[in-house]
């Protein structure tokens, strides 16, 4: 193939279950229609232009090189996903890059292979990583974790993200939960079991299209994340802002400590929720579910 190959891959949020998944409990993550787009062209040397993390791009090229030799590339990345906010920006750039390379070099990687290779790239950079982000970014829709199966391809409600523009360290927060659990194992295990049940019940409401009940469970999940010390003043403020403006549910998404919240609402309420989040000091991003994972084009 000669010319420019364009591939994109989506961000994700957790509707429920982050942190509990570290202890083998269930979670639901959904792909968002915020995408990272990779434009790739063969070249005599390597040139990367990006507004996101370059190291994932480099590592993706290097991982791909073990499948097929790559001698030079001009890669341009444009991302709509805020970096370091728990929305999976590093997974999206990795997955989109592998998709583009696969096509350009006629390797025809399957989605399973892209997800697996992308997970290895993330793990080699982060030390530990969960396969959730790379899997969701590859397949799209609503995904049950740890099974990694798509349970539904769409949600019939709107999603608004509230970004605190502060960053929490996933590694430190996972460690803090581990320490809390070693001092209060019985209590923490009950919390993890409750979160697991939130996911199980939530899937039922999701499949029935009852977003009011789903939202209620997201609110409970937020309270449990808060109970484990994963909140912050900024996160609480924008969760309250979103709920006060009529969100059906709002919770921390990802590791917590900073980063983002996810709110679900009726389509007609989107502007209200955006205002509520802004008034509470957050940056609002309106997003729908992305049915597609990695795909050709942006």
Min. distance of Cβ 117 from ligand MEV in angstroms? 18
Question: With respect to ligand MEV, which residue has the nearer C-beta, 16 or 130?
Answer: 130
What separation in angstroms does the CA of 26 have from each of 23, 66, 211, 293? Answer: 9, 34, 19, 21
Nearest of 35, 12, 7 to residue 150 by alpha carbon: 12
170 is an interface residue for ligand MEV by CB under 6 A: yes
22 is an interface residue for ligand MEV by CB under 6 A: yes
Selected range binding ligand MEV among 17-25, 47-55, 106-114, 186-194, rule: CB under 6 A: 17-25
19 is an interface residue for ligand MEV by CB under 6 A: yes
Q: Quick one: residue 140, left, alpha or beta (phi over 0 = left, psi -120 to 50 = alpha)?
A: left
Assess whether 196 carries a catalytic annotation.
no
| Interacting residue with ligand MEV among 13, 31, 53, 86 (CB under 6 A) | 86
Residue 281, C-beta contacts closer than 8 angstroms, at least 6 positions apart: 164, 234, 237, 238, 241
81 is an interface residue for ligand MEV by CB under 6 A: no
For the segment 235-274, give every residue that binds ligand MEV (CB under 6 A). Answer: 254-255
Q: For 23-67, give the secondary structure using H, E and C.
A: HCCCEEEEEEEEEEEEEEEECCCEEEEECCCHHHHHHHHHHHHCC
- Which element (helix H / strand E) includes 94? helix 89-104
Instruction: Determine which one of 33, 44, 53, 133 is catalytic.
Output: 133
Selected range binding ligand MEV among 15-23, 72-80, 180-188, 240-248, rule: CB under 6 A: 15-23
Residues labelled catalytic? 133
The residues that touch ligand MEV, with contacts defined as CB under 6 A, are: 18-19, 21-22, 86, 130, 170, 174, 254-255
């Amino acid at each position: 193939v000669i010319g420019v190959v364009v591939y994109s891959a989506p961000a994700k949020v957790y509707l429920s279950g982050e942190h509990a998944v570290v202890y083998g409990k269930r979670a639901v993550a959904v792909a968002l229609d915020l995408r990272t787009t990779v434009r790739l062209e063969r070249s005599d040397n390597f040139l990367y232009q990006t507004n996101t993390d370059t190291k994932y791009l480099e590592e993706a090229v290097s991982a791909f090189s073990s499948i097929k030799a790559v001698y030079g590339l001009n890669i341009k990345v444009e991302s709509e996903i805020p970096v370091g906010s728990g929305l999976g920006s590093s997974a999206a750039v990795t997955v989109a890059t592998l998709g583009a390379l696969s096509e350009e070099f006629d390797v025809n990687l399957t989605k399973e292979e892209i997800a697996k290779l992308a997970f290895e790239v993330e793990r080699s950079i982060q030390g530990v990583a969960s396969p959730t982000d790379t899997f969701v970014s590859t397949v799209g829709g609503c995904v049950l974790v740890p099974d990694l199966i798509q349970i539904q391809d769409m949600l019939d409600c709107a999603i608004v993200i509230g970004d605190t523009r502060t960053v929490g360290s996933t590694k430190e927060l996972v460690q803090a939960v581990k320490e809390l659990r070693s001092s209060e194992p019985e209590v923490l295990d009950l919390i993890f079991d409750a979160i697991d049940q939130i996911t199980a019940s939530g899937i039922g409401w999701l499949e029935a299209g009852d977003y009011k009940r789903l939202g209620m469970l997201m609110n409970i999940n937020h309270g449990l994340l808060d109970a484990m010390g994963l909140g912050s003043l900024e996160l609480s403020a924008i969760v309250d802002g979103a709920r006060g403006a009529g969100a059906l549910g709002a919770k921390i998404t990802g590791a917590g400590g900073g980063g983002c919240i996810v709110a679900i609402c009726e389509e007609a309420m989107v502007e209200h929720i955006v205002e509520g989040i802004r008034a509470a000091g957050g940056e609002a991003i309106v997003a729908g579910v992305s049915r597609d994972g990695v795909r050709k084009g942006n």
